[in-house]
Structure 1
């Protein structure tokens, strides 16, 4: 029983870390997209 609980906890932690990693990746990509958008649409100086 204890082993099953430990396995479930590990699976949950792995899932959470995976989700966090995906969110961080999306944040970086969206920031890059916003910067590219600003560069494209900012008036040329």
Structure 2
């Protein structure tokens, strides 16, 4: 069984096109080193 989500821009979309990626983490300051940004952007 599948569910449809109504998107105002894309129309009905299958619920399996979306997935939960976990809790949002705090954004690092702009002057953070690249390693910090890599952890933030790529779990």
Higher helix share: 1
Higher strand share: 2
Larger Rg: 1
Query: Which of 1 and 2 has higher RCO (CA within 8 Å, sep 6+)?
Result: 2
Given the two structures, how large is their TM-score scaled by the length of structure 2? 0.20
Given the two structures, how large is their TM-score scaled by the length of structure 1? 0.19
